[in-house]
Amino acid sequence: MKGEDIKDNEVYQILEKIDDNTWNVPVTYKSTMNVPGRIFVSSELMKDLEKETLDQMANVASLPGIQKFSMAMPDAHLGYGFPIGGVAAFDKDEGVISPGGVGFDINCGVRLLRTNLQIEDTRPYINQLVNNLFNKIPSGLGSKSGLKVSDAELDDVFVHGAQWAVDNGYGVKADVEHCEGNGLIEGAEPSQVSKEARKRGRPQLGTLGSGNHFLEVQYVDKIYDEYIASDFGLEEGQVTVSIHCGSRGAGHQICSDHLRELTQAVKKYGIQLPDKQLACAPANSREAQNYFKAMACAANYAWANRQVINHWTREVFENIFGKDIDMNLVYDVAHNVAKFEEHTINGEKKQVYVHRKGATRAFPPEHPELSDDYQQSGQPVLIPGSMGTPSFVLHGTKDSMDISFGSACHGSGRLMSRKHAKKELSGEEIQKELASKGITVKVANPRMISEEAPEAYKSSSEVVDVVHDVGIARKVARLSPVGVIKG
């Protein structure tokens, strides 16, 4: 966009430029703001940025105890409460915890598996592979799993996350070590999960779900950093698999249940809210801690869910390519969580609740929460594309903690609503176009192809370039899709 054009943009007129990819929403934008907003966005991506996203950033900046900035990533767009792509940290004593800063799909996240297969050796089997994965892994709205768990087992899932799956034969020890936080959030309390959430979650463990959730067979088509790629076990031409899903109906119900309690807590504690979708309570209050304990249950369920799907994916590959296939987990990252973390703020170490709503953790080298494998490289940061567009692997940098509380973008970010996409785009035509590019797509519901079409999303390349240029996380590898299953 030329300089004279961007100046006519309503969003541009609101923002204060810090550098080409860093902009502030000034505290004067809304009289209730306690801190500025800060959004990482290029001029090109700004063309599609809604003013309402800035309004949501300003609303978050008005919450008690917020630290430094109300932030948004380059994939930001309108969400519930927080913008999707929103990041905010709240002081443990003076701040709040808000489900609007986490979302309904608690710990929607991504994991990446690398294989010892090369794409040219795999292409002849892609259709078979996609069909077998589709048949093995339940997908679609309300899909149910063949995996049956008792109430007691479900409690164990809520408490132990990915470790529960490994302990029950769905994976290996190294899988847990390569999950963010070892595949769980401490402090989960199953007593805070309602009967309805249990009812919804029990039959859905080991299911992909619908919407933007997917399992994608890919290959590494470009390496940006040979040294870090080697640490991650990635090389050009290598086949990989990405799994993107969350806590299913259990997480949605947990969010709904606790939103009701926290809506009442707003009145109890006399919190002035600019938006009722930001229902919250003081971080150390009973209501906030009850929600946090239930949210941890949903997050842990999501890690167990991805771990089970991970195991079944390995079985499908072994059935086609033989038992000697290598399928190792590179990493698993969470979106849509609040975490209790320590950060240095204005030169002082503080304990805060970091809300990442459609944002990915991006911790730096030598961070104590990273496994030994990634102490030198920094955390793998996984950014999925949208069906026909590339995904990216990045690594957290030494500057990420200061820039964004160790947080990066989580995907491309929607351009069109699902309703608009269904109206404007033909699923049949999109499927043909993807097939012409060598991408096989299998869906439970054909409508999902138009809803989740590449055209419905921002450019994953442009979004990732902003994060890279700002220095939050640096590009390591690009992954191109060859086979996708969706709900």
The pLDDT of 268-297, averaged and rounded, is: 98
Catalytic residue, chosen from 160, 244, 258, 410, is 410
* 431 vs 183, more confident: 183
Answer whether residue 4 shows pLDDT above 60.
no
How many angstroms separate the CA atoms of 98 and 102, rounded?
Answer: 7
pLDDT of residue 396: 98
Look up the pTM and report it.
Answer: 0.95
Is 410 considered catalytic here? Answer: yes
The pLDDT of 215-232, averaged and rounded, is: 98
Answer whether residue 473 shows pLDDT above 60.
yes
The pLDDT of 390-407, averaged and rounded, is: 97
pLDDT of residue 24: 98
Bridge-partner residues for 145, per DSSP? none
pLDDT of residue 418: 63
Residue 428: pLDDT band with limits 50, 70, 90:
confident
Residue 414: pLDDT band with limits 50, 70, 90:
low
Tell me which of 43-47, 63-67, 178-182, 237-241 is least confident. Answer: 43-47
* 206 vs 434, more confident: 206
pLDDT of residue 3: 45
The pLDDT of 234-263, averaged and rounded, is: 97
Answer whether residue 127 shows pLDDT above 80.
yes
**What Cα–Cα distance (Å) separates residue 225 from each residue in 235, 377, 420, 438?**
10, 11, 38, 27
Tell me which of 35-44, 52-61, 406-415, 452-461 is least confident. Answer: 452-461
Task: Quick: pLDDT tens for 309-337.
Answer: 999 999 999 999 999 999 999 999 999 99
Task: Quick: pLDDT tens for 15-38.
Answer: 999 999 999 999 999 999 999 999
Residue 416: pLDDT band with limits 50, 70, 90:
low
**Strand order from edge to edge, sheet including 84-91:** 16-19, 22-25, 37-40, 70-77, 84-91, 348-357, 337-345
Answer whether residue 424 shows pLDDT above 80.
no
Cβ(336)–Cβ(102) under 8 Å?
Answer: yes
Residues 6 or more apart in contact with residue 103 via CB below 8 angstroms = 79, 80, 82, 84, 255, 336, 357, 358
Mean pLDDT taken over the chain:
94
* 456 vs 369, more confident: 369
Task: Quick: pLDDT tens for 258-282.
Answer: 999 999 999 999 999 999 999 999 9
Tell me which of 126-135, 394-403, 419-428 is least confident. Answer: 419-428
pLDDT of residue 415: 67
Answer whether residue 160 shows pLDDT above 50.
yes
Residue 455: pLDDT band with limits 50, 70, 90:
confident
Answer whether residue 5 shows pLDDT above 70.
no
How many angstroms separate the CA atoms of 308 and 340, rounded?
Answer: 27
Residue 9: pLDDT band with limits 50, 70, 90:
confident
pLDDT of residue 146: 86
Answer whether residue 39 shows pLDDT above 80.
yes
Give the tokens for residue 251: 């997480």
Residue 419: pLDDT band with limits 50, 70, 90:
confident
Residue 1: pLDDT band with limits 50, 70, 90:
very low
Task: Quick: pLDDT tens for 78-117.
Answer: 999 999 999 999 999 999 999 999 999 999 999 999 999 9
